[in-house]
Amino acid sequence: MSPEASTDVSVTFRDLNLDESLIKILDEVGYESPSPIQAATIPLLLEGRDIIGQAQTGTGKTAAFALPLISNLDLKQKDPQLLVLAPTRELAIQVAEAFQKYATHVKGFHVLPVYGGQDFRGQIRALERGVHVVVGTPGRVMDHMRRGTLKLKGLKALVLDEADEMLRMGFIDDVEWVLDQIPEQRQIALFSATMPSQIRRIATKYLTDPEQITIKLKTETASTIRQRFWPVSGVHKLDALTRILEAEDFDAMIIFVRTKNSTVELADKLKARGYSAAALNGDIQQNQRERTINDIKKSRIDILVATDVAARGLDVERISHVVNYDVPHDTESYVHRIGRTGRAGREGDAILFVAPREKRMLHSIEKATRQKITMMELPSTEIINDKRIDKFKQRITDALAGEKNALFAQMIEQYQQEHNVPAEEIAAALAQLLQGDNEFLLSNKPQRKQKTDWDSSDDKPRRERSSRRDSGRDGGRERGRDRDKGRSNSNDRSPRRDAPPEQGMQRYRIEVGHDHDVRPGNIVGAIANEADISSKNIGRINIADDHSTVDLPADIGNEALAVLKKAWVSGQQLNISAVSGDGQSSGSSDNRGNDKPEKRRVDNQKSEGSRTESKFSDPRVAHKRTDNLSRGKGKGRGKDEPQAKLGLKKRKHRA
């Protein structure tokens, strides 16, 4: 076991003995130096060692295992050599995209993401053609292994990414099943932000003499720095930045981007918009770097567009704002970035641009810094126009204070006398000449509403689900007590609990509840991940002691339901089943539209074994179930009806 890895990294990627094709792409995208987890992990994985990496999300873990394991691949072998297990569909896609990017110059390289909700046939065809790396969620990887479509005889390495998250989502049994199937001679890399006992047990059982790497991040941010973010991506970034530059009162600013090429491109675009900006990156010669820094200190330029490494240690007193135009690779880089302002007790502002797919990094930064980053309000058209008018007036004032106005004053006076035009009209014409064809004021067009998960309308359903969870937990206990007192109180149920699904939605029962420590987030995550259903389309969730109900789109389809039936949450298989109009589970998720539901239910009872038995462990449920069956084709009618009548007679006799 190694001591905690230092976060003071002075090595370069070239020092780590990576393949030259990987060095080439790293240079192209502008990665200048490895993060602490990368510097500590890459040499060990290149040597074939097993490792345990304990580091927060957003520290550069993907590159830490992807770069060395790509270097170790035998491209002539077409069967999978590397398997990466990820807890969510989104992370699996993200990791696969990272592999593809890093292997840009590796000829013949193929990576395949596999996850629930995607067509099996397309994945099978890709596997048959041959892939070197498979990145997938545990459930879908297990399905392929059981079908024999994912053959791991030639597997050389396995990566468990965010192992603690897989534990939290109830996938740990699946992970162990996969680990039991892979060859004994293989390399394993386990990454986890925390190390609960179950994760340590897996590491002890399956890893061979692992080297442990723990990254302690510097997460302190000055309390004098106001931190805000704005959800924006792609071509809209420049427009958002321009508005911020016009509305924010700043002395000097550093704008951080990821790559060296981006520093030059963005600086040129800002210059074209009239801002005094300069690029600062690792390719700039030392003497030019010193001149640029001196220029911003002397107020000859106001904006630096820089990469992380180029701005390390930069201390310029007049820097009041830091803009993270590109999200940093890790949380420590964010801390270093915003540390360029708010120094020595001075106040500063830090603004972060976040694309929708980068929300995970935003949450990681908040968690690492223990500070909430608030969404900023983008300046309105009125504010921008007011700023432009004030700036224009100030330019007039500054010009009047100059000493070179005498000649122009004579020319204006002559023009006024010759053409009999008022002075204010002449001044307006000169201002128009200066402005050119560009509009001076912004038109007051209605702002497009941001279609992101940060929108308040999108947060509302989540808050409702949370409140329902709380009321559902307490209300369920109250209703349980009412039922113990007698059936007469059964109508006291909360109307929210009994409210029918919204139009276009179908209610389903899943076999996991409070007894299994499940939370709404676990349920939403599993359904969204396995069935490829957006969280926005997942409706009301009610959690009882031994089961839960969830409202899903009525047109979800039998294939997705079959996937969810096998999905696991909090150590329990969902065994999802549709709930009928009278509140009873149909016993099968596949019976909708079937003309013979009774036969399908009986078949399901035979095939599902212990699950059916557990459902009938509650006598009230068993009674209602058999009563429902008796109303079908008549099977068991003569047997059930006398029992029901006998029960009524006994209760009447007691009364």
- Taking 90 as the threshold, does the pLDDT of residue 224 lie above it? no
Q: Indicate the pLDDT class of residue 68, thresholds 50, 70 and 90.
A: very high
Mean pLDDT, rounded, for 625-633: 40
Q: Residue 611's pLDDT is what? A: 37
Quick one: 609 and 652 in the same domain? Answer: no
**CB–CB of 95/59 below 8 Å?**
no
Mean pLDDT, rounded, for 85-90: 86
- Taking 80 as the threshold, does the pLDDT of residue 38 lie above it? yes
- For residue 40, is it within any domain? yes
Mean pLDDT, rounded, for 503-512: 89
- Taking 90 as the threshold, does the pLDDT of residue 403 lie above it? no
- For residue 446, is it within any domain? no
Mean pLDDT, rounded, for 243-271: 90
Mean pLDDT, rounded, for 618-624: 39
Quick one: 606 and 624 in the same domain? Answer: no
Q: Residue 271's pLDDT is what? A: 92
Q: Specify the DSSP class assigned to residue 358.
A: G
- Taking 90 as the threshold, does the pLDDT of residue 484 lie above it? no
Q: Residue 218's pLDDT is what? A: 58
Q: Residue 460's pLDDT is what? A: 37
- For residue 117, is it within any domain? yes
Q: In terms of pLDDT, which residue wins out, 529 or 280?
A: 280
Determine the structural domain holding residue 366 and report its residue range. 225-379
Distance CA 64, CA 56 (A): 13
- What CATH number should be reported for the domain holding residue 100? 3.40.50.300
Distance CA 286, CA 42 (A): 30
- Rounded (5°) CA angle 12-290-224: 80
Chain segment 146-159, per-residue pLDDT in tens: 999 999 999 999 99
Distance CA 578, CA 582 (A): 11
- For residue 2, is it within any domain? no
Q: Indicate the pLDDT class of residue 448, thresholds 50, 70 and 90.
A: very low
Quick one: 29 and 163 in the same domain? Answer: yes
Distance CA 629, CA 34 (A): 65
| Of the candidates 288, 278, 245, 332, the residue with the CA atom closest to the CA atom of residue 37 | 332
Mean pLDDT, rounded, for 58-76: 90
Q: Residue 640's pLDDT is what? A: 38
- Taking 90 as the threshold, does the pLDDT of residue 73 lie above it? yes
Mean pLDDT, rounded, for 505-525: 87
Quick one: 504 and 412 in the same domain? Answer: no
- For residue 155, is it within any domain? yes
Q: Residue 476's pLDDT is what? A: 41
User: Which of 163, 194, 214 finishes a domain?
Assistant: 214
Query: pTM of whole model > 0.75?
Result: no
> How many CB atoms are located within 10 Å of the residue 8 CB?
8
Q: What is the count of structural domains for the chain?
A: 5
Pick from 15-24, 210-219, 598-607 the range whose average pLDDT is largest: 15-24
Q: In terms of pLDDT, which residue wins out, 4 or 485?
A: 4
Percent of the chain with pLDDT over 90: 33
If 0-12 CB within 10 Å is exposed, 13-18 middle and 19+ buried, where does residue 105 land? middle
Q: Residue 456's pLDDT is what? A: 36
Q: Residue 188's pLDDT is what? A: 97
Q: Residue 492's pLDDT is what? A: 40
| Of the candidates 468, 514, 512, the residue with the CA atom closest to the CA atom of residue 494 | 468
Q: Residue 642's pLDDT is what? A: 38
Quick one: 125 and 263 in the same domain? Answer: no
Quick one: 238 and 158 in the same domain? Answer: no
The H-or-E segment that residue 563 falls in is helix 558-566
- Taking 60 as the threshold, does the pLDDT of residue 614 lie above it? no
Quick one: 20 and 105 in the same domain? Answer: yes
- Taking 50 as the threshold, does the pLDDT of residue 10 lie above it? yes
Quick one: 409 and 498 in the same domain? Answer: no
If 0-12 CB within 10 Å is exposed, 13-18 middle and 19+ buried, where does residue 433 land? exposed
- Taking 70 as the threshold, does the pLDDT of residue 416 lie above it? yes
- Rounded (5°) CA angle 143-83-512: 45
Q: Indicate the pLDDT class of residue 452, thresholds 50, 70 and 90.
A: very low
Mean pLDDT, rounded, for 362-387: 81
Q: Residue 266's pLDDT is what? A: 95
- For residue 330, is it within any domain? yes
Q: Residue 457's pLDDT is what? A: 35
- For residue 525, is it within any domain? yes
Q: Residue 165's pLDDT is what? A: 85
Q: In terms of pLDDT, which residue wins out, 218 or 349?
A: 349
- For residue 502, is it within any domain? yes
3-state secondary structure 54-79: ECCCCCCHHHHHHHHHHHCCCCCCCC
Q: In terms of pLDDT, which residue wins out, 284 or 6?
A: 284
Mean pLDDT, rounded, for 241-270: 90
Name the phi and psi angles at 579, rounded to 5.
-100, 130
Mean pLDDT, rounded, for 543-550: 90
Sign of the dihedral through C-alpha 528, 530, 533, 539: negative
Mean pLDDT, rounded, for 284-306: 88
Name the phi and psi angles at 301, rounded to 5.
-130, 155
| Paired tokens of 57 | 């999300």
| Of the candidates 614, 617, 541, 537, the residue with the CA atom closest to the CA atom of residue 573 | 614
Distance CA 451, CA 454 (A): 8
If 0-12 CB within 10 Å is exposed, 13-18 middle and 19+ buried, where does residue 86 land? buried
Q: Indicate the pLDDT class of residue 594, thresholds 50, 70 and 90.
A: very low
Quick one: 85 and 209 in the same domain? Answer: yes
Q: Residue 294's pLDDT is what? A: 87
Q: Indicate the pLDDT class of residue 340, thresholds 50, 70 and 90.
A: confident
Quick one: 498 and 532 in the same domain? Answer: yes
Quick one: 39 and 172 in the same domain? Answer: yes
Quick one: 535 and 404 in the same domain? Answer: no
Distance CA 306, CA 337 (A): 10
Q: Which residues contact 288 (CB under 8 A, 6 or more apart)?
A: none
* H helical segments located in 420-557: 423-435, 456-485, 495-498, 520-531
Chain segment 42-51, per-residue pLDDT in tens: 999 999 999 9
- In whole numbers, what is the pLDDT of the chain averaged over residues? 77
From 405-409, 433-437, 449-453, 523-527, the region with the lowest mean pLDDT: 449-453
Chain segment 572-589, per-residue pLDDT in tens: 889 999 987 666 665 544
Q: In terms of pLDDT, which residue wins out, 356 or 152?
A: 152
Chain segment 432-446, per-residue pLDDT in tens: 887 777 666 666 554
User: Which of 369, 400, 435 finishes a domain?
Assistant: 435
